[in-house]
């Protein structure tokens, strides 16, 4: 199987189906812990301006705002932005950020946001976009699925393209009324070395690379037992 991009139309179909039911999934319940960790790791202070790329229904953006941070969230899905409610939201593609360079003090792309959903084809470009959006000395954070974990714990029915580093799954997603629909997801998975090289190629200095899981962000060295890596870097 070749690497496959989850197109904007396909992702919008998923989001249109899930809507606020997305926030019922267990991986969304650790938002406060994740944001508290990131505020410290990115050295965020009240009044700073942060870009949240692939913000979905805005859970990280809303949590960041409680620390006095001004957040602009972007997502391809109008349905998710509607669920997000009050805030500053822009409907846009992570591959083409609609901002002038150096507009933000920090940028994040977390959980199942824009970074990693591109099927192994344009992930480097998204990281460059994130870096360009941030002022000199600012920070970037992205969470990315671990290739080690994906292969070690390959789920029944999933296929992993070793050449592209892409995991394909047929995911069942519930809507707010509990109705189930199936969607194909192609998710890029990464190794720590690959993430470091991509960050450096984007002109950033890596400040942290840790093994994490939703709701349990921490400064753990990369391992085989956590589903995600969290990369932080300075522009």
Task: State residue 186's pLDDT score.
Answer: 84
Task: State residue 4's pLDDT score.
Answer: 46
Query: Worst-scoring range by mean pLDDT, 44-53, 163-172, 226-235?
Result: 163-172
Which of these CATH numbers, 3.40.50.720, 3.30.470.30, 3.10.20.740, 3.40.50.150, describes 8-234?
3.40.50.150
Whole-number average pLDDT of the chain: 91
Across 116-120, average pLDDT: 65
Would you list the domain boundaries of the chain?
A: 8-234
With bands split at pLDDT 50, 70 and 90, how would you rate the model's confidence at 118? low
179-182 contact pairs (CB < 8 A, 24+): 181/17
Residue 92 in this model has a pLDDT that exceeds 50: yes
Task: State residue 2's pLDDT score.
Answer: 43
Residue 3 in this model has a pLDDT that exceeds 60: no
The segment with the largest mean pLDDT, out of 9-13, 73-77, 111-115, 230-234, is: 230-234
With bands split at pLDDT 50, 70 and 90, how would you rate the model's confidence at 37? very high
Q: Is the dihedral of CA 112, 117, 123, 126 positive or negative?
A: negative
Residue 123 in this model has a pLDDT that exceeds 50: yes
- In the chain, the percentage of residues whose pLDDT exceeds 70 is 93
């Amino acid at each position: 199987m070749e690497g496959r991009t989850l197109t904007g139309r396909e992702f919008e179909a998923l989001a249109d189906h899930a809507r606020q039911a997305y926030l019922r999934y267990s991986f969304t319940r650790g938002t406060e812990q994740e944001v508290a960790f990131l505020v410290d790791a990115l050295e965020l202070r009240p009044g700073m301006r942060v870009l949240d790329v692939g913000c979905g229904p805005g859970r990280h953006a809303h949590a960041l705002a409680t620390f006095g941070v001004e957040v602009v969230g972007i997502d391809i899905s109008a349905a998710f932005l509607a669920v997000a409610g009050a805030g500053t939201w822009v409907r846009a593609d992570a591959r083409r950020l609609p901002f002038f360079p150096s507009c933000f003090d920090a940028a994040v792309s977390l959980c199942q946001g824009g970074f990693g959903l591109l099927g192994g084809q344009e992930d480097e470009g998204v990281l460059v976009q994130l870096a360009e959006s941030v002022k000199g000395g600012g920070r970037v954070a992205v969470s990315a699925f671990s290739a080690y974990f994906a292969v070690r714990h390959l789920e029944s029915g999933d296929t992993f393209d070793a050449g592209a580093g892409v995991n394909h799954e047929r995911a069942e997603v519930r809507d707010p009324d509990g109705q189930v629909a199936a969607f194909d997801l192609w998710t890029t998975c990464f190794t720590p070395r690959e993430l470091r090289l991509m960050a450096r190629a984007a002109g950033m200095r890596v400040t942290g690379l840790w093994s994490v899981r939703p709701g349990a962000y921490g400064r753990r060295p990369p391992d085989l037992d956590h589903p995600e890596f969290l990369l932080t870097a300075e522009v």
